[in-house]
Amino acid sequence: MRAHQIMTQHVISIGADASIVEAAKLMLRYHISGLPVVDASGQLVGIVSEGDFLRARRSAPRQSAAGG
């Protein structure tokens, strides 16, 4: 089996200046686990994945129930 046989042919991407909320919404809407991030000229600058969100969640400081 070759990569082209399992790859997504219609690529959904997001701009580098988009928020992480926008990225998460796109990933949920299209049921994808990774999202290419492109600059203003359409060049790939990185990929955001489900794992990135999980790592960010684990490393974020916890807030108390009182909101502090």
Quick: pLDDT tens for 8-67. Answer: 788 999 999 999 999 999 999 999 999 999 999 999 999 999 998 888 766 666 665 555
Domain 3-59 belongs in CATH node 3.40.190.10: no
- The helix (run of H) or strand (run of E) holding residue 29 is helix 20-30
User: Which residue carries 């807030």 as its tokens?
Assistant: 63
Return the SS3 of 58.
helix
The reported pTM is: 0.72
Tell me which amino acid residue 57 is: R
User: Length of the chain in residues, anyone?
Assistant: 68
Given this model, what pLDDT does residue 9 score? Answer: 82
Look up residue 61 and give its amino acid.
P
